[in-house]
């Protein structure tokens, strides 16, 4: 405010200054004086303004957050703004503030996280880390890694296929026909659920490749429709392989290799879906 007044005095005292400059200065001060200052001691008020600016892609014209933005956070901000570019109308659902410091030296570091719902029903989140100065003023702490600016459409991410990396297919066993050692008589695939969650359904594609010429001689989409508890391991019989001629002697276990591509797993226990469920449960409990 002091700088604005100094600007006014300078214009007023300039010799032969046109009257329009004087009026402009008065108007400028009036507008600045009428602007609502953001309370930098209130993380929820400050956080809501930041979310609004990012969603409306007006962050670069604001001073309360953009001036605090380090160079390494600008690129991440661009990704977030782009993710929300077609979504403007929203309502806040809940706010979280948790300690974010990993080391003892970061004990005064916190992360603010806002959840909001767009008009089309999608729920999203945006979060940033911050510290407080000696006057209890909020100062965003934005960097790479654990402290970076984060934001994404949770509902959209939850709609993506759930393909857990800890669903394993470690071994395959088979028997060949007695009088035709190129043909499968039985085949079983080992499925190991190393995730933290029970699985009700698995869709996957099993492909078998001859090592002799690199040709795929079997490829089929299969389903497993039984409960597979967390940490359990089963041997699933692959009946479509029975009677298939591999074109090589199956007596040796080194004539072909198998490849499993997971296509779908239910229920969807991805991070996004679990977070979405948590938000919905929290909002529902608040309405009771």
- Within 10 A of 235 (CB to CB), how many other CB atoms are there? 12
Nearest to 238 by CA among 215, 260, 214, 209: 260
Higher model confidence: residue 141 or residue 196? 196
Q: Strands (DSSP E) along 161-270, which ranges?
A: 167-168, 172-177, 180-193, 201-210, 216-224, 233-237, 256-266
Phi, psi dihedrals of residue 182, rounded to the nearest 5°: -90, -5
Distance CA 61, CA 74 (A): 14
Indicate if the pLDDT at residue 268 is higher than 60: yes
pLDDT one-digit tens code per residue, 64-75: 555 555 555 656
pTM: 0.72
Could you tell me if 129 and 147 are in contact, meaning their C-beta atoms sit under 8 angstroms apart? yes
Confidence of residue 13 (pLDDT cuts 50, 70, 90): very low
pLDDT one-digit tens code per residue, 144-163: 665 677 888 899 999 999 99
Indicate if the pLDDT at residue 80 is higher than 60: yes
Indicate if the pLDDT at residue 132 is higher than 50: yes
Three-state DSSP at 84 gives coil
206: Cβ contacts below 8 Å, ≥ 6 apart: 189, 218, 219, 220, 222, 238, 258, 259, 260
Least confident interval from 88-97, 211-220, 238-247, 260-269:
88-97
* Of 4-18, 116-130, 151-165, 184-198, highest mean pLDDT: 184-198
Please give the pLDDT value at position 152. Answer: 86
Please give the pLDDT value at position 54. Answer: 76
The distance between the two most distant Cα atoms of the chain, rounded to a whole number of Å, is 112
Indicate if the pLDDT at residue 11 is higher than 90: no
Please give the pLDDT value at position 139. Answer: 83
Least confident interval from 69-73, 96-100, 200-204:
69-73
* CATH architecture of the domain formed by 43-158: Roll (3.10)
Indicate if the pLDDT at residue 217 is higher than 80: yes
Indicate if the pLDDT at residue 102 is higher than 80: no
- Each domain of the chain, given as residue ranges in start order, spans 2-34, 43-158, 167-266
Same fold yes or no, 43-158 and 167-266: no
Please give the pLDDT value at position 104. Answer: 46
Mean residue pLDDT of the chain comes to 80
pLDDT one-digit tens code per residue, 158-196: 999 999 999 999 999 999 998 999 999 999 999 999 999
The neighbouring-strand residues paired with 98 are: 111
Distance CA 103, CA 247 (A): 59
Averaged pLDDT, 223-243: 97
* Buried residues in 15-26 as b, exposed as e (16+ CB within 10 A): eeeeeeeeeebe
Higher model confidence: residue 214 or residue 147? 214
What's CA 16's distance to the chain center, in Å? 60
- For tokens 């300078």, the residue is 10
Distance CA 198, CA 252 (A): 36
pLDDT one-digit tens code per residue, 22-67: 433 333 333 333 445 678 889 888 888 888 877 776 555 444 555 5
Pick 167-266's CATH classification: 2.160.10.10, 1.10.760.10, 2.60.40.10, 2.170.190.11: 2.60.40.10
Distance CA 218, CA 81 (A): 45
């Amino acid at each position: 405010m002091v700088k604005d007044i100094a600007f006014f005095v300078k214009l007023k005292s300039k010799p032969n200054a046109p009257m329009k400059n004087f009026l402009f200065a008065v108007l400028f001060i009036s507008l600045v004086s009428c602007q609502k200052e953001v309370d930098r001691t209130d993380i929820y008020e400050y956080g809501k303004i930041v979310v609004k600016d990012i969603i409306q892609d007006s962050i670069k014209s604001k001073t309360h957050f953009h001036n605090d933005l380090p160079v390494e956070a600008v690129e991440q901000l661009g990704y977030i703004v782009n993710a929300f570019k077609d979504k403007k109308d929203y309502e806040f659902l809940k706010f979280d503030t948790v300690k974010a410091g990993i080391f003892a030296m970061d004990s005064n570091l916190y992360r603010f996280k806002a959840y909001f719902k767009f008009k089309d029903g999608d729920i999203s989140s945006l979060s940033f880390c911050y510290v407080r100065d000696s006057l209890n003023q909020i100062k965003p702490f934005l960097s790479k890694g654990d402290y970076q600016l984060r934001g994404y459409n949770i509902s959209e991410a939850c709609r993506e296929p759930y393909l857990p990396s800890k669903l394993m297919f470690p071994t395959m066993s088979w028997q060949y026909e007695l009088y035709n050692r190129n043909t499968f008589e039985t085949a079983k695939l080992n499925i190991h659920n190393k995730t933290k969650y029970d699985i009700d359904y698995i869709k996957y594609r099993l492909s078998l490749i001859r090592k002799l010429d690199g040709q795929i001689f079997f490829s089929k989409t299969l389903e497993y429709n039984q409960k597979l508890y967390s940490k359990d391991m089963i041997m699933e019989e692959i009946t479509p392989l029975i009677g298939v001629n591999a074109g090589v002697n199956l007596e040796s276990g080194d004539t072909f290799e198998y490849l499993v591509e997971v296509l779908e797993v239910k229920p969807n226990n991805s991070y996004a879906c679990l977070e979405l469920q948590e938000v919905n449960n929290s909002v529902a409990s608040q309405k009771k």
